[in-house]
Structure formats: C-alpha cells, structure tokens
Amino acid sequence: MSEQVVTQPGGESPAPDEDRRDWAGTWRQITESSGLVVAMAIFAALVIAGLLVILVDPDVQEAAGYFFSRPGDTFAAAWEAVSSVYGAIFQGAVLNFDSSTFAGTIKPFTQTLTMATPLIFAGLGLGIGFRAGMFNIGAQGQLLIGATVGAYIGFAWHLPFPLHLALAVLGTAVGGALWGFIPGILKAKTGAHEVIVTIMLNYVALNLVAYLLTLEAFLPPGQTNPKSPIVDESAQYPLLLGSQFNLHWGFILALLCAWGVWWLMERSTLGFEFRAAGANARAARTAGMNVTKTTILVMVVAGALAGLAGSAPVLGTEKALTDQTAGSLGFDAITVALLGRSRPLGTVFAAILFGGLQAAGPTLQTVAGLRPDIVYVIQALVVLFIAAPPLVRTMFRLPVPAHEKEVAA
Amino acid sequence: MKLELQGITKKFGDFTANDAIDLVVQPGTVHALLGENGAGKSTLMNVLFGLYDADGGQILLDDEPRVFAGPGDAMDAGIGMVHQHFMLVPVFTVAESVMLGNEDVTGPAKLLDLNAARAKVKELSDRFGFAIDPDAVIEDLSVGAQQRVEIIKALSRDAQILILDEPTAVLTPQETDELLDIVGQLRDAGTAVVLITHKLREVKAIADDITVIRRGKVVGTAEPTASQEELASLMVGRDVSMTVAKDAADPGDPMLQVHNLTVVDGVTEITLLDGVTFEIRAGEILAVAGVQGNGQTELAEAIAGLTPTDAGHVTLDGEDITGHSIRKVLDAGVGFVPEDRTEDGIVANFTIINNLILDIYDRAPYSTRGTLNGKVLVDNAEKQVENFDVRTTSINALTGSLSGGNQQKVVLARELSRDLKLLIASQPTRGLDVGSIEFVHKRIIEERDNGAAVLIVSSELDEVYALADRIAVMYHGRIVDIVPPDTDRDTLGLMMAGAHKEEEAA
C-alpha cells in the first residue's frame, strides 16, 4: 500500500470529521458483517440462552444433585426445560398446534407480524441514518412525537374513512420528520453531535407527551388518566385478516416503505448522495454534493419513518396515545437496524424475529408458566454477538472477509 | 554488520508476495531496493523485521542464521526500521518517543530516566546534524523532522542495519536532500542502509548497490551509473519514457484568468493566498511549483470553489466564477483532481462504478428524473476501466482496494469524462509508480491538446518539468514569478525559497 497517512502538524481535517470517521468505522464493521455471521450470532444466542434456562431450572438442579448415580435424569430434565421454553416461544410466535381451528393455529404468527410492524418502520429509518453516517439514537422521540400528532388528528378531527386515516398517517410522518429535522439542522449548521442531541430530544419528547396528556385537549372528557381518547374508526388501520386477528394494514404500509427505502438508497440520486456523504463526507463535498442539505434530509427521512412507527400503536393496536406508547420500540429498532445490517430486507426479517420474541412473551407466562425474561436475554445476546463479528467468526471458525485482511506490501 | 537474505518466500493465501528473494547488504553501504508499488518490497522488509513469518528462506546477520519472533527481536539484533507511516505518539516529546519501548529507569522509585533519553537525542542529533530539540512535541514537528525522530529512535538502539521504507514519499524536495545527506553520513559511519523506494533520482544519488524487485521476484541488480530509463524499464518490465513526449503548446484565447485572488484563514487570520494574478490560455499547461504549504493547495481549492475567497476574481472563459459553489464550478466545465486522493477524490467504500459517477451522477445519461440508470453506469464503468487501463478484478470492486495508481486513474477517468475548459490537478502522481505516472502525464497532455487549459500543482520538480508550458513558483502565498519551462533546477530552487530573479540580479 502506498497511501501516506501522516500526522500533519496542525492537523488539517477538522475534529468533527475525525469523530465521524471513528464512529463510522465501528458501525461499518458491524453493519457489513456477512449474513452468515448474523445467522451464527442468532444461533449462538439461542444456545447460550438454552444453557441459562438449564442452569436455573429447578428440576435440572434437583436431578443434578444425584448426577453421578443417574446422569440420565439430569439430561432428561435439561432437555425438558429447554424444549418447553423454545416450544413455548414457537407456540407464541409462529404456530399454535394446540388450537383446534386454523385461525387459532396461525394466530401467533399474525401477532408476530403485528408486533414487527413498528419495528420495521423505525428500523428502516435508523438504517438510512447509519448508512448516511448519521447515528440517530432518537427514534424513540421521533416515534412519540409522530404518534402524538397522528393520534390527535385521529381523535380530534372527524373526517370520512380513507381521508381521515391518510391524514393521520401523514401526521405521524410529519411529527417524526419535525423531530428529526431539529438534530439534522443543528448538526448541519453548528456541528452539534447528533448522538447527544437525539438522546436529549428523546427526553424532551417523553416529557412533552406526559405534559400534553394532562391537558384537557388530549384527554377524554372528565378523565385524568394519561390516556387520550380512542381515535375515530375512520382513522384506524383496517384489519388485514378480519376481526379474529390484530394484524392491520400498517404492516402492508411498512412493507411498501421497505421497498421505497430500497429504491431510495439503491436507485435514486438522493440515496447516492446519502451514501456518499456517509461513507466519505469530504469526497462528497469535493464532488459538488451539498452535504449540509444531505445531513438535514437524512434526519428528516429517518424521523418520518420513525414517526410512522408511531402509527402502528396509535392507529393500529392500542388506538390511543398513552405515555407508554413508545415502550422500548425506538431502542429495539436500533438493534433491528443493526441486525438487518441497515438494509431494507434485512431490517424486515430482523423486525419479524424481534416481533416474534415479543409476541412469545405472554405465551411463555400463561401457557408454559415460565418467566418471559428469557426473551430479553435472547435479544440481549443477539445484540452482543452482532456487535462483535470477530468473536462470532472465531467461535465458528468463519473466514475473515477479504477487506479486513492484511494487505500485502 | 552484514545482512544477507537467502531465498525469502512469503505467501498471502494464493498470492506470492516474495518469491525466493536473495539480497546481500554490506556494512557501510546504501542498498536500494527498487520496485513499483505492490512489488513486494515492504513485505520483504516486514519479514526481515519480524512482523511477518517467512514461508521459506533464511536471514543471516554476519553469516549467522537468525530468526526474529517480532520487531523486538529484530531491534535487539541491531536492525532498525523507519516505516512509511510513522509510528510515533503525537502528544509525546521527542525524548519520550525515542525511549518508548526501551525505557531506562533511574533511582529506587524506578522513575523514567528522561534525562538520559534527552542526552541521547541531543548526542545523536548533534553528531548527524539533525537539529532536533529533545523537548519538542511530535505533533508540532514537520514531517521531515518526525522522520528524523524515527531515525534517531532506531539509532538510539544501536541499529547497525537501518531500513527506510519509502522515506521520501512524504518529503519536500529540500527535506529529501537533507535526508539523503543524513543517509550518506550514516553510511560513512558504517551503518548498512536499506533504502526502499520507487524514485529513481534518489537511487541514483545515494545508492551503492541496487536490487530491482518486480512481482515478488528479484529481476535484476544494477549499478548506480545505470540510466533512469534502464532502471525504470527493469522495474516496470517494459520500456518507459521518463518524460512523456509532448509537442510545443499551441495556446489559444485566455481560458482562466485569476486576478488578485486572496484567501485568509478564517480562524488564524493568516493570509494563505496573497493577491495572486495569472492567466492560462486554452491548450496550455501552467504548473505551479513550490514547497508544500506555500498556498498552492489553497489556490487550487479557491478556484474550484472549495475554499471561500476574500478578494479577487476568477474568470473562466469570460464568465466570472468567483465565489461560486464547487458544484457550479464543476458544471461550468472544470475538472478537479484533488491533492488528497483518498480523502477527497474517492469514496473508498464505493465500487468503481459509483466512484466513476461521483460528480456526474445527477445528469443525463447517468440518471433521469432522480433515478440512477444502472445499465448506463455499468457500461460507463466498463468503458472507462478499459480506456484508463484501471487494473481491477471487477468494476464492482471497492475502489479502496485498488492501488494508489489505479485509484488515481479512476479519479482522472471521471474528471476527464466531461468536456473540460479547465483541468485542475493537484499532485496528480503523488505516491504513484513509474508506469502510472507515465500514463497520467500522457492523459493530462492529451487534455491540453484537446484545447483545455490545465493547472497543475506539484511539489515534484520532475513532474513540473515533464508537464509545464510555463512554470509559476509560489512562496508564502504569492507567485514569485512565472518562468519558461527551460529554467534550470537551481534557479527554480532559489525561487521556491523566496528569492526573486530580479532581486538576485540587483
């Protein structure tokens, strides 16, 4: 290699660029890990979670007490513990063979897709940001503001069906876009780091919503519970598969958005600018791109998608705004975007995986009588392994990708 | 100490970087290891320094076979290496840097013995005339001075064999001369010096023996008396001309007029460009010579619209483009080859296809109504890769994986794919090997012959001579003078140091 990287006295490149590059390197390493590594990470997470299940299972502990006289009992108990947990997860997230009706059998999977819907929206937005070099941690706040605007349009305005829904959905996007625009313009004009600004704006959004839910305009008459009125039926996503299932048209909209994001990033000139600015802002600027504009636009688009994620609860499942609307969606979506390697298709699959784990929680508790915490353990382990591709590669003896190899002479 | 390498072989997967290389370096001589980028020079030295394990062959020091497990072993055995990328901690002082990895301690508390390190730096600095202050902080030093610190560091461990990896790649002509002086002194003091380089002038100036490596094999040895052409063809494997044949310029109307252009740094308020005035006519190459940091970079960037100007005018083909955004300047018919290729010229993580459209992606036929035309992009990339002889396995390869020369060909291919009125190229062949330099120079001259005005900024006098129809010399943000291309090296050198011809005569 002949490139000369020399510590120039006085350092010509401004600090924000350096900073961006360091972050970018780390994120790039994570997001560009191969699909195989992702699959292996999920596998490893399931195996280790299984071991944890075995360790804490009372039957296994009891059988282990006489391991040396009858080791078979321990293994049988361990198998029993693991299979009951993963069986319950399958039953809660994919198919329920205990049900006598077809609808009952497939209901868990429709529930998974319902849970996945907001994660797809928000994960897509975050993925765009990551690829454009913007580390947007603010999906939570953008989602909340979007949900607030959408819910308000939903319960305060009264319009005929398709129009009302369209406006409410648009409202969630606009609310999120606004909340994304703030860190975007601050970064572009003053260099304020988007990580800090978006984290802080999450708190602002959360407290703003808590405050709004004390106002008469946001509460049903005579109520003080922090829960808005139910949005009009004309502003709700219609159910996709009839009244037996919760799955609504928001899921289809999320898939359309995934296609749209793919087109934006891979086919459009705007996405080309996004990617160029993310991969090398200086080269993008030298090539005549307006990096200031790109920075703002990326945050606006990412915010709009996070805002749309807010439409899933307020216009789809819960149909009202509460101070719990966002849950941990905005943060789970970061994991989803990472797991999906910031690509639309990957994000959809990752969101379905996480949606499934969340859908399985209640089943674990009610059907198998197990603590649902194991689901969070699995999620956390997946994140852990995804964040350390070299660890996974070492564990499974996968080859090192060519671009990370030492380059000869 | 005599160094001998016998049959050194090093493979990376299927790729043989070093193939049974033999090399003998006698004490008190300078042995030049000459080869193009990627020929396997650095790999060989990394094997010697214990950074890579050889797959075959052995290393002998004074006829005794040695095996080095790592750089520590090699240093203990008396081998010192100055890497192309300096291995210094920017916030350390010179004395701290020199002792790093070999710290002396003093007293019962085992405190670092900085005084000993200072004394060592001072002694070596005085002996060889390095002029290095032991208490200076690394990041405040010039590149040349940092390199001298690396040399002091090696010498402070009693290195009897000193390996210099592409030492002049980052130096100005003056610093290069100083370095060559130092190398001469080290040789006279009995050190065996291995000089890795692809610059023929230096080899001829200082080397006692020359070994040429091509594609991992020794392809020949040469005497320093061999001509540059002979050395170059050994290195490249075919005949190369050191100066590209070019016809006399046939200048037309003035294309670029720069009047009183001034740039002041917004933060430090230092005047970087001080009332620069010149013009370039169509079909003419003006080369700007000067020691780096005298305003050449700012001149190129100010004309391109990357650096805001504080006074003056830039006129392109009669149209005032002062203060226009880079976007508008490019659209007006300017091609810009930036000085820092990897930072400003390409997106390393983009494919060749995408880098070839980095500044034309939003115009026909590359895109229509905001949509990229995939087929056109692929056709464009295939055509350009062939026209510009970009050596790559695929147009889908990441541009960052290409050699410097091939990256530069990608940048040139992109910039020359438009109809240009003006081509601005800063350090167009920096870090490139002989074969690529020849190619790049040919293309630039072709562009001139097609009627474009060309502005070249180069700190390599060889390049200035090879390309220029007129030479502008810059010093402290001003143009000292514009002289014809047959001005001799000494006169240019004096002008680059700020001396004006007339003043001298006076």
- Rounded to an integer, what distance in angstroms lies between the CA atom of residue B351 and that of residue B343? 16
CB B104 within 8 A of CB B116: yes
B12 neighbourhood in chain A, CB within 8 Å:
405-406, 408
Q: Which residue has the tokens 């006519």?
A: B281
> Bridge partners of B10?
B18
B166 neighbourhood in chain A, CB within 8 Å:
2
Q: Is A287 in contact with B138 (Cβ distance < 8 A)? A: no
Q: Is B404 in contact with A3 (Cβ distance < 8 A)? A: yes
Q: Does B139 touch chain A (CB under 8 A)?
A: yes
> Bridge partners of B196?
B33, B165
DSSP one-letter code for A235: G
Sequence-ordered list of residues with C-beta below 8 angstroms from that of B50, at least 6 positions apart, any chain: B68, B69, B70, B71, B72, B73, B74
Contacts of residues A269-275 at CB distance under 8 Å and 24 or more positions apart, as own/partner, are: A269/B361, A269/B362, A269/B367, A269/B370, A269/B371, A269/B372, A270/A297, A270/B370, A272/B354, A272/B361, A272/B362, A272/B372, A274/A128, A274/A131, A274/A132, A274/A298, A275/A131, A275/A132, A275/B350
Q: Does B42 touch chain A (CB under 8 A)?
A: yes
Alpha-carbon separation of residue A225 from A144, A154, A213 (angstroms): 18, 19, 8
∠B65-B67-B72 over CA atoms, to 5°? 130
- What b/e string do you get for A321-356 counting C-beta neighbours within 10 Å, with b at 16 or more? bbbebbeebbebbbbbbbbbbbbbebbbbbbbbbbb
Q: Does B293 touch chain A (CB under 8 A)?
A: no
CB B475 within 8 A of CB B496: yes
What integer pLDDT is reported at residue A27 of this predicted model? 57
Q: Where are any strands of DSSP class E within B202-264?
A: 209-214, 217-222, 254-264
What integer pLDDT is reported at residue A399 of this predicted model? 67
DSSP one-letter code for B137: B
Q: Is B42 in contact with A269 (Cβ distance < 8 A)? A: no
Sequence-ordered list of residues with C-beta below 8 angstroms from that of B417, at least 6 positions apart, any chain: B356, B360, B380, B384
Chain B: nearest CA to A129, how far in angstroms?
17
Q: Is B372 in contact with A267 (Cβ distance < 8 A)? A: yes
B325 neighbourhood in chain A, CB within 8 Å:
288, 290
pLDDT in tens, chain A (409 residues): 333 333 333 333 333 333 444 555 555 555 555 677 888 888 899 999 999 888 888 888 888 888 888 888 888 888 988 888 888 889 889 998 888 899 889 999 999 999 999 999 999 999 999 999 999 999 999 999 999 999 999 999 999 999 999 999 999 999 999 999 999 999 999 999 999 999 999 999 999 999 999 998 999 998 888 999 999 999 999 999 988 899 999 999 999 999 999 999 999 999 999 999 999 999 999 999 999 999 999 999 999 999 999 999 999 999 999 989 998 899 999 989 988 888 999 999 999 999 999 898 888 888 777 778 888 888 888 888 887 777 887 887 776 654 443 333 2
- Rounded to an integer, what distance in angstroms lies between the CA atom of residue B65 and that of residue B88? 31
pLDDT tens digit sequence for B326-351: 999 999 999 999 988 888 999 999 99
Helix (H) or strand (E) holding B466: helix B461-467
Class of domain B3-236: alpha beta
B341 neighbourhood in chain A, CB within 8 Å:
3
Q: Does B364 touch chain A (CB under 8 A)?
A: no
Of residues A5, A11, A286, nearest to B326 (C-beta): A286
Q: Is A408 in contact with B371 (Cβ distance < 8 A)? A: no
The token pair that represents B445 in the structure block: 């001259």
The token pair that represents B187 in the structure block: 């040789």
Q: Is A286 in contact with B306 (Cβ distance < 8 A)? A: yes
What integer pLDDT is reported at residue A318 of this predicted model? 93
Chain B: nearest CA to A344, how far in angstroms?
18
Q: Is B346 in contact with A280 (Cβ distance < 8 A)? A: yes
Helix (H) or strand (E) holding A63: helix A58-64
> Bridge partners of B130?
none
Q: Does B14 touch chain A (CB under 8 A)?
A: no
The end-to-end CA distance of chain A, in Å, is 6
CB A360 within 8 A of CB A343: no
- Rounded to an integer, what distance in angstroms lies between the CA atom of residue A85 and that of residue A55? 13
- Rounded to an integer, what distance in angstroms lies between the CA atom of residue A310 and that of residue A172? 6
pLDDT in tens, chain B (506 residues): 889 999 999 888 777 888 999 999 999 999 999 887 777 888 888 888 888 888 889 999 999 998 888 888 898 899 999 987 788 898 999 999 988 887 878 878 888 888 888 998 999 888 888 888 999 999 888 888 888 899 999 888 888 999 998 888 767 677 788 889 989 999 999 999 999 887 888 888 899 999 999 888 898 888 888 888 888 888 888 777 667 778 888 888 999 999 999 999 888 888 899 999 999 999 999 999 988 778 898 999 999 999 999 999 999 999 999 989 999 999 999 999 998 888 899 999 999 999 999 999 998 899 999 999 999 999 999 999 999 988 888 899 899 888 788 899 999 999 999 899 999 999 998 877 778 888 899 999 999 999 999 999 998 888 999 999 999 999 889 999 999 999 988 888 888 877 765 544 44
Q: Which of B55, B51, B71 is CA-nearest to residue B8?
A: B55
How many CB atoms lie under 10 A from the CB of residue B450?
A: 13
Q: Is B347 in contact with A269 (Cβ distance < 8 A)? A: no
Q: Which residue has the tokens 């990897």?
A: B342
Residue A133 falls in which region: left (phi positive, over 0), alpha (psi -120 to 50) or beta: left
| Chain B residue closest in CA terms to A280 | B347
Q: Is B372 in contact with A272 (Cβ distance < 8 A)? A: yes
Residue B381: what residue type?
A
Domains of chain B by residue range: 3-236, 254-344+421-505
Q: Does B370 touch chain A (CB under 8 A)?
A: yes
Residue A353: what residue type?
L
Q: Is A408 in contact with B344 (Cβ distance < 8 A)? A: no
Residue B455: what residue type?
L
Of residues B86, B372, B431, nearest to A269 (C-beta): B372
Sequence-ordered list of residues with C-beta below 8 angstroms from that of A16, at least 6 positions apart, any chain: A191, A193
Q: Which residue has the tokens 């790049």?
A: B440
Q: Does B365 touch chain A (CB under 8 A)?
A: no
Query: What does R_g of chain A's alpha carbons equal in angstroms?
Result: 24
CB B348 within 8 A of CB B374: no
Alpha-carbon separation of residue A248 from A145, A261, A318, A320, B176 (angstroms): 22, 21, 12, 15, 72
DSSP one-letter code for B399: G
Q: What are phi and psi of B267, to 5 degrees?
A: -90, -55
- Tell me how far the alpha carbon of residue A40 is from its chain's centroid: 20
- What b/e string do you get for B15-52 counting C-beta neighbours within 10 Å, with b at 16 or more? ebbbbebebbbeeebbbbbbbbbbbbbbbbbbbbbbbb
Q: Is B41 in contact with A3 (Cβ distance < 8 A)? A: no
Q: What are phi and psi of B429, to 5 degrees?
A: -125, 20
pTM: 0.79
Fold match between domain B3-236 and domain B254-344+421-505: yes
- Rounded to an integer, what distance in angstroms lies between the CA atom of residue A55 and that of residue A240? 42
Q: Does A215 touch chain B (CB under 8 A)?
A: no
| Complex ipTM value | 0.79
A242: three-class secondary structure by DSSP: coil
- What b/e string do you get for B346-380 counting C-beta neighbours within 10 Å, with b at 16 or more? bbbbbbbbbbbbbbbbbeeebbeeeebbeeebeeb
Chain B: nearest CA to A41, how far in angstroms?
25
Query: What does R_g of chain B's alpha carbons equal in angstroms?
Result: 25
> Bridge partners of B423?
B335, B454
- Domains along chain A with CATH numbers: 27-396 (1.10.3470)
CB B194 within 8 A of CB B24: no
DSSP one-letter code for B45: H
CB A39 within 8 A of CB A396: no
- Rounded to an integer, what distance in angstroms lies between the CA atom of residue B502 and that of residue A39? 74
Residue A173: what residue type?
A
Q: Is A403 in contact with B361 (Cβ distance < 8 A)? A: no
Q: Does A304 touch chain B (CB under 8 A)?
A: no
- Tell me how far the alpha carbon of residue B300 is from its chain's centroid: 18
CATH topology of domain B254-344+421-505: Rossmann fold (3.40.50)
Q: Which residue has the tokens 């693991």?
A: A82
- Tell me how far the alpha carbon of residue B368 is from its chain's centroid: 39
Q: Is A8 in contact with B143 (Cβ distance < 8 A)? A: yes
The token pair that represents A30 in the structure block: 């994570």
Q: Is B347 in contact with A290 (Cβ distance < 8 A)? A: no
